[in-house]
């Protein structure tokens, strides 16, 4: 079967199928083994599970096929994948990053890589002039989130990739919010796609996982060697959970997105809400660009409460939507970025970016949309008092 000719939904469903030579099991077996017998000195395809494992490998190959990449490596979390990407750099190298991005990416640079002499600048990557001005002779990598976390700002990935090429710099896109079924960074010119597979790819709030997909075969080999050397690889059972999750990604995204679109429209009309951030709304600054470079708006919705001090009251009043960090799973979750996902950012930066105490980030799940709107509506109505 020529897998690259298939539509992404079919590739996703067939990841890992046909991998059991012994019994023809349709679901990939969980090869819960560290090591592999080899007669004499002759090593087989697999010798040690830090290097490769027959449950992890089909998932890595399937993910690379889904992204149109040359190869993918799987990690024990999204952060481990991001760390592997930064490990491709050396002391004195410089990275330019989206300023409104996942707090953990900020923290690993400031608290870890800074000590090893990696330099970094956070900018508004939507502004190409600002982005280009931040590039130095030592810049090796541009790291984007589009849409960004938590403000869902949209960066022109094609334009940034052209800029990166002119300056001979790698471009990496954290595609966690979108997945390859909505946005294909490699087709848009990226060298790397980074995932917290914990989120939409796995999709059930039950497994931590990360992935780093490379466009270039040599870079894919370097990343695989790094994964093996540093050791933060994905365990067989966790690989199996991600593989199972990816099979339903297309239908989950369709429903979650439809729910999110309806919820964003509802929130935009609610008197307790000052502003809604959702690329699917025509009034969003990045609406047209996002539509041009994706096949859907995604299911993350952020909104600003008019009364910025009532975030805890709002969260406490919810019955169905769970106050919890993380995103992309079956259950709808609400987060308070100011004190949770983005608390690592100094307060003054949070406020400058627009991450105010009244900002809420909603990961819309698979519940019935009327139930979700009822729940959000009653919690917002309760703020009147």
Ligand X SMILES: Cc1ncc(COP(=O)(O)O)c(C=O)c1O
Cα torsion 35, 36, 37, 42 to 10°: value is -110
How far apart are the C-alpha atoms of 265 and 298, rounded to whole Å? Answer: 14
Residue 157, preceding bond cis, omega within 30 degrees? no
What's the closest the beta carbon of residue 144 comes to ligand X, in angstroms?
11
DSSP label of 6: S
Residue 198: CB minimum distance to ligand X, A:
4
Closest distance to ligand X from the beta carbon of 242 (Å): 11
Residue 76 in tokens: 């024990």
Rg of the chain in Å (alpha carbons): 21
Orientation angle between helical segments 217-230 and 78-86, nearest 10 degrees: 110
**Pick from 11, 31, 19, 3: which is nearest to 240 by CA?**
31
DSSP per-residue letters across 109-149: HHHTGGGGT-EEEEE-TT-HHHHHHH--TTEEEEEEESS-T
Q: Is 79 in the site for ligand X (CB under 6 A)?
A: yes
Subset of residues 217 to 236 that bind ligand X, contact rule: CB under 6 A: none
Residue 384 annotated to the active site: no
Give the interface segment with ligand X, choosing from 72-80, 249-257, 262-270, 332-340 (CB under 6 A).
72-80
Site string for ligand X, 273-312 (x = CB under 6 A): ----------------------------------------
- Count of all residues that appear for the chain in the document: 385
Examine residue 357 and tell whether it contacts ligand X (CB under 6 A).
no
- Which of the residues 56, 182, 184, 199 is marked catalytic? 199
Among 28, 55, 146, 149, binds ligand X (CB under 6 A): 149
Which residue of 77, 146, 259, 363 would you call a contact of ligand X, by CB under 6 A? 77
Query: Residues 102, 106, 195, 200: which is the catalytic one?
Result: 102
Q: 356 Cβ partners below 8 Å, 6+ apart?
A: 304, 308, 338, 350
- DSSP per-residue string spanning 80-103: HHHHHHHTTS-TT-EEEEESS--H
| Choice from 119, 174, 191, 257 touching ligand X (CB under 6 A) | 174
Choose between 208 and 359: whose C-beta lies nearer to ligand X: 208
DSSP state of 35: B
Judged by CB under 6 A, which of 83, 178, 202, 208 binds ligand X? Answer: 208
Residues binding ligand X: what is the number (CB under 6 A)? 14
Residue window 100-129: x/- pattern of binding to ligand X, with contact defined by CB under 6 A: --x-x-------------------------
Q: Which of 20, 36, 46, 50 is catalytic?
A: 50
Indicate if 174 belongs to the active site.
yes
Find the shortest distance in angstroms from Cβ 35 to ligand X.
Answer: 27
Give me the active site residues, please: 50, 102, 174, 199
Q: Which residues bind ligand X (CB under 6 A)?
A: 77-79, 102, 104, 145, 149, 174, 176, 196, 198, 208, 210, 326
């Amino acid at each position: 079967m020529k897998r690259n000719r298939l539509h992404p939904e079919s590739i996703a469903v067939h990841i890992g199928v046909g991998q059991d030579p012994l019994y023809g099991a349709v679901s990939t077996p969980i090869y819960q083994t560290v090591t592999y017998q080899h007669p004499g000195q002759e090593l087989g395809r697999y010798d040690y599970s830090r290097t490769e494992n027959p449950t992890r490998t089909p998932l890595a190959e399937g993910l690379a096929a889904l992204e149109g990449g040359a190869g993918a490596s799987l990690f024990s979390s999204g952060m481990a994948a991001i760390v592997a990407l930064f490990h491709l750099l050396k002391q004195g190298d410089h990275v330019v990053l989206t300023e409104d991005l996942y707090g953990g990416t900020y923290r690993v640079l400031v608290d870890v890589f800074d000590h090893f002499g990696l330099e970094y600048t956070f900018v508004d990557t939507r502004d190409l002039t600002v982005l280009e001005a931040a590039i130095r002779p030592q810049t090796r990598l541009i790291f984007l989130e589009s849409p960004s976390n938590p403000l869902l700002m949209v960066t022109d990935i094609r334009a940034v990739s052209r800029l990166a090429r002119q300056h001979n710099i790698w471009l990496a896109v954290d595609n966690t919010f979108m997945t390859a079924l909505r946005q294909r960074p490699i087709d848009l010119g990226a060298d790397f796609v980074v995932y917290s597979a914990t989120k939409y790819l796995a999709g059930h709030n039950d497994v931590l996982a990360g992935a780093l997909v490379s466009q270039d075969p040599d870079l894919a080999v370097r990343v695989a060697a790094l994964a093996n050397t540093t050791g933060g690889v994905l365990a067989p059972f966790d690989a199996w959970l991600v593989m199972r999750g990816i099979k339903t990604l297309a239908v989950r995204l369709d429903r979650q997105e439809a729910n999110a679109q309806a919820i964003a429209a509802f929130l935009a009309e609610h008197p307790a809400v000052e502003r809604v951030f959702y690329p699917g709304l025509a009034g969003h600054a990045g609406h047209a660009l996002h539509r041009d470079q994706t096949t859907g708006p995604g299911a993350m919705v952020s909104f600003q409460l008019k009364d910025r001090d009532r975030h805890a009251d709002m969260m406490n009043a919810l019955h169905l939507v769970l106050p919890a960090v993380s995103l992309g799973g079956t259950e709808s979750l609400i987060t308070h970025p100011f004190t949770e996902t983005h608390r690592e950012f100094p307060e003054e930066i949070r406020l400058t970016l627009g991450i105010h105490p009244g900002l809420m980030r909603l990961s819309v799940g698979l519940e019935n949309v009327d139930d979700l709107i009822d729940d959000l509506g009653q919690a917002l109505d309760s703020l009147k008092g």
